[in-house]
Amino acid sequence: MIIKRFILSVIITYLFLSLLLSFSIGYTIDWIPEATLAQKIKGYAFEGFTRFNFIKVLIAVGVGTLYILLYLKLRSPSSSKR
């Protein structure tokens, strides 16, 4: 159960970071007037999911670990006795 929560939190964090990078300014297809909307969407999605992937994985694993530690601390029986 804890592994599922960890994996889910890592995936959600990675997707959130990728979404933020997908809407970054400065992508070169912005300056091409002949680019269609589908080409722009494909370009933004590809750039968002592939740019800085190692850093995003490290951040996502760190957030997942913190989430699991907080979950275990709040769920422990000793904290409910207070």
pLDDT in tens, 29-79: 566 778 788 887 887 788 788 888 899 999 999 999 999 999 999 988 775
Q: What is the pLDDT of residue 2?
A: 87
- Sorted by where each begins, the domain ranges of the chain are 2-80
Look at 1 and 9; give whichever has higher pLDDT.
9
Q: Is the dihedral of CA 59, 61, 11, 42 positive or negative?
A: positive
Q: Is the dihedral of CA 6, 65, 13, 78 positive or negative?
A: positive
- The answer, as to whether pTM is greater than 0.85, is no
Judge whether residue 28 has pLDDT over 90: no
Judge whether residue 12 has pLDDT over 80: yes
